[in-house]
Chain A
Amino acid sequence: GDSVTQMEGPVTLSEEAFLTINCTYTATGYPSLFWYVQYPGEGLQLLLKATKADDKGSNKGFEATYRKETTSFHLEKGSVQVSDSAVYFCALSDQTGFQKLVFGTGTRLLVSP
């Protein structure tokens, strides 16, 4: 079945450092890809998404490009802030509804001042 693999954390960075969180997927069809973020004490929030190959999702300085050839959707940010500290989940959906999701394990990001 479909699956998502993302790098284990925690990822520890200093403020203004460059961030990459790797995510690869396995799917039989043409899934939509997502990054969700969970801040402490809150629910998962959609950070960005891409629905087809070569699409780039972006939000709040974060970017991820749907790479069909490498089945990847790596999350990047050029300069992280302390407020970016959270758990980041990569996910896919093989349905047009976007609601039924297959998740990765989540990666905790810790940003220090």
Chain B
Amino acid sequence: GAVVSQHPSRVICKSGTSVKIECRSLDFQATTMFWYRQFPKQSLMLMATSNEGSKATYEQGVEKDKFLINHASLTLSTLTVTSAHPEDSSFYICSADRGQVNTEAFFGQGTRLTVV
């Protein structure tokens, strides 16, 4: 099956700093990538949809200036959490779409972010 690699798997950062998370499709071109977030004991929630070469579409309630998404190529999307605060501590996971109808998306391993 298709492989999506997400890096890093865990990161601890200081409050006020920025953290970048990468999502790569290793063996296919991803026209669309999705970013999800999961707080403890809650569902994975879609944050944004990113399309290669265009601006990301953010879900309601997600601050686009805080969560910067760049999808500069067909194999790489990045999520940057800017000026991170402890309440941003969460599990972030990406998925990538091959662009084929009625096929599932493929997920990365996820990133556990802890802001101290």
Contacts and interface: CB of A to CB of B under 8 A. Distances in A.
A38 B38 CA distance: 14
Given A43-B107, A43-B108, A44-B107, A99 B41 contact: no
Contacts of A3: 43
Size band of the B side of the interface?
20 to 34
A49 interface: yes
Interface in A91-106: 96-106
A43 B97 contact: no
A45 B32 contact: no
Contacts of A42: 109
Contacts, number: 61
A89 interface: yes
Interface in B1-50: 1, 4, 6, 9, 32, 34, 36, 38, 41-46, 49
Size band of the A side of the interface?
20 to 34
Interface string B69-112: 00000000000000000000000010101000111111111100
Contacts of A33: none
A21 B52 CA distance: 37
Contacts of B34: 99-101
A99 B107 contact: no
A5 to B, nearest CB: 9
Contacts of A96: 101-102
A99 B36 contact: no
B93 A43 contact: yes
A73 interface: no
A41 interface: yes
A4 B95 CA distance: 19
Give me the 4 closest cross-chain CB pairs, A-B, nearest first. A44-B107, A103-B44, A43-B107, A99-B105
